[in-house]
């Protein structure tokens, strides 16, 4: 379990037994099918829409805020969501906007699990570096969620 030092949020990690990672599975993940793997946190539901904070594993690990209608992503350019995206981007310059994200950015350090060619990936083998990296991501996540909740509250 991970506990953020900045809040009382607890994230429980469950080990999956009898699972292995190999080059074929990794290649299949990046070259076949849809890649929507990661931690998705439901922040709220509004009519038929759900607002999520997500940490997503793609070619690089990134995180941000998005809106879904059921399981379908909603474009951030829809009028009713533009104010959320604009406020998020104005409030924190690390965020980028895309069609299906109100705002997103790469986690720090930038982690590229597709190529495994980066010193940051190799450093994750060291337990202290791994713990420091995960703690930094968790603390940033807690801050991001808290700040976005304030943005949403101020827009209502």
Q: What is the pLDDT along the chain (156 residues), one digit of tens a residue?
A: 333 444 444 444 444 445 565 667 666 665 665 555 678 888 888 888 888 898 887 778 899 998 888 878 887 777 878 888 898 999 999 999 888 899 999 998 888 877 767 788 888 888 899 889 989 998 999 999 999 988 888 876
Residue 131 φ then ψ, to 5°: -60, -45
Q: What is the DSSP string of 40-98?
A: EEEEEEETTEEEEEEEEESSBEEEEEEEEETTEE--TTSHHHHHHHHHHHHH-TT-EEE
Q: 66 - beta bridge partners?
A: 52
Q: Which distant-in-sequence residues (6+ apart) come within 8 Å of 105 by Cβ?
A: 62, 63, 64, 94, 95, 96
148: burial class by Cβ within 10 Å (0-12, 13-18, 19+)?
A: buried
Reduced to 3 states (helix: H, G, I; strand: E, B; else coil), residue 119 is: helix
pLDDT at position 13:
46
Q: Are 89 and 147 in contact (CB under 8 A)?
A: no
CA distance 14 to 3: 15
Q: Which distant-in-sequence residues (6+ apart) come within 8 Å of 60 by Cβ?
A: 106, 110, 111, 112, 113, 114
């Amino acid at each position: 379990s991970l506990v953020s030092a900045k809040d009382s949020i607890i994230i429980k990690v469950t080990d999956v037994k009898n699972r292995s990672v190999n080059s074929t599975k990794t290649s299949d993940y990046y070259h076949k099918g849809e890649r929507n793997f990661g931690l998705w946190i439901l922040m709220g539901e509004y009519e038929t829409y759900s607002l999520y904070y997500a940490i997503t594993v793609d070619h690089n690990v990134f995180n941000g805020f998005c809106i879904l209608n059921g399981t379908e992503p909603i474009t951030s350019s829809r009028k009713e969501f533009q104010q959320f995206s604009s406020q998020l981007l104005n409030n924190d310059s690390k965020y980028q906007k895309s069609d299906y994200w109100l705002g997103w950015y790469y986690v720090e350090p930038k982690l590229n699990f597709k190529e495994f060619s980066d010193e940051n990936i190799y450093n994750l083998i060291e337990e202290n570096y791994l713990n420091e990296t995960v703690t930094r991501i968790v603390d940033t996540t807690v801050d991001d969620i808290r700040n976005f909740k304030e943005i949403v509250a101020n827009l209502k």
